[in-house]
Amino acid sequence: MTRPDLFYQPPKGERSGLPHDPFKSFVIPRPIGWISTTSKDGQDNLGPFSQFNNVSFDPPTILFIGHQSVYKKRSKDSVVNARDTGEFVWNMATYDLRDAVNASSLESWEDEFPISSVAKAPSRVVKPPRVAQSPVSFECRVHSIIRIQGDSLVGHSDIVVGRVVGIHVKGEYITPDGLFDVLKAAPLARLGYHQYTAINNIFDMKMPFMPDDTESMGVLAGAAPPKETEKEVDDGAK
């Protein structure tokens, strides 16, 4: 039997009436921010965050969002460490590493690298180690941290924005024509509830552009963006 359409307003305290809150099942799939950090006392930490994405590509900038820990009654360790040291590393989570990613979500008081049975690889620019088995890692320095007040303890969120200062890519994941082999890596993504997915198919679509737009297609395909002149920057700020 088909259920009736739903409409509800969360600011008014209304709920969906479904057995589980469906909100996180709608904004999907979400790439996973598998974040490694080192505390100011030198202890390494590893944890996955399903609120993660890139912010910009010129310069490369990413963010991850840590909700408050219900268990520890404070910000997540990854956020605390990033705030204290100004550094973190993003490691690509893949289907082959799915069990390790899940194991690293344990909110322990110890180093999650051995808990999740992954090896550490040294970073070159920042102190936190990388996940050695991950096909891609970004070394990052914290750009800013934005605090969002929630309606509950877990709703309080810290948005950690990081500038990418070093990128590692394993050669085995680069195709003969110089592209990243997405299907070989099979990046892991979060859905809602306890559900995940992995990329197992891709297809191309080229965006339409105006006839006199000679630059946008190249930029979106990965070419270096045109440099702005001082006048263009000034005009854009007006």
pLDDT at 233: 47
Give the number of domains in the chain. Answer: 1
CA distances from 171 to 70, 115, 176, 180 (A): 40, 27, 10, 9
Give a yes or no: residue 7 inside a domain: no
- Does some domain include residue 183? yes
**Peptide bond preceding 4 in cis form (omega within 30 of 0):** no
Domain residues for the domain of 164 are 29-201
Q: What is the CATH number of the domain that holds 183?
A: 2.30.110.10
Does a structural domain hold residue 211?
no
Kindly state whether residue 234 falls inside one of the protein's structural domains: no
pLDDT at res. 174: 97
| Domain contains 210 | no
User: What integer pLDDT is reported at residue 228 of this predicted model?
Assistant: 64
pLDDT, residue 152, reads: 79
Query: What is the pTM (predicted TM-score) of this model?
Result: 0.88
Domain assignment present for residue 213? The answer is no
Helix (H) or strand (E) holding 80: helix 77-85
Which residue is associated with the tokens 């007006």? 238
Residue in the block written with tokens 């270096």 = 224
Residue 238 confidence (pLDDT):
42
CB 130 within 8 A of CB 123: yes
Q: So what's the pLDDT on residue 217? A: 76
In a domain, 212, yes or no: no
Residues of the chain with pLDDT under 50: 229-230, 233, 237-238
Is residue 238 in a domain? no
